Structure 1
Amino acid sequence: MILEIADIRINPGRQAEFEPELQRAIATVISKAKGFKGATVRRSIESPERYVLQVQWETLEDHTKGFRESPLFGEWRAIIGPFFAAAPNVEHFQEF
């Protein structure tokens, strides 16, 4: 399993709008992607416009090729992209 960690910064004061939209995007878009295993989200206490999204994938390619190169990615970004203050920082991790 691969863990994707996305560090997301949104525009100030938009948390109340962003959070249900992110949950909707997880439930209706990314969850349909091949290799998707689950997702969790955390909001920073010190920086309330900062979120950490953790997505579990079967393989790295399920995310980098299968999801990012599919129409689902466009749907995903259309829902949550307007809230971004900057592009998310995304990294992938594996167990050792």
Structure 2
Amino acid sequence: MVKFTATAISLLMLTMAPAALGKNCKGSLMYCGRGLLNKGNYYDQIIEALQGAGQSTDSSHVNNSMFYCKSDGNIVFQAYCQTSGCINGGADHSDYC
């Protein structure tokens, strides 16, 4: 049986933290739902944001809706890109309809 000390566990968590933080959306940018899903585990937040805005939670809305990324990494529904779908704006640029 392997025993871990509190120090070893703390060091392990510190080395893993930057990797986890790197998957968050970048504050003040707009993201397609599809892009958020590729970036990290945003599914539950997407569903919550869609429900809060009175939108459908079908796969089209999950993937083709626009979300504003707040500085804390939380997202806010902005629009559903019904006509042309949601388009990836590229690195460090907002996505758009």
Global fold match (TM > 0.5):
no
TM-score, normalising length from structure 1? 0.30
Instruction: Answer with 1 or 2: which has the greater Rg.
Output: 2
Larger relative contact order, structure 1 or 2 (CA cutoff 8 Å, min sep 6): 1
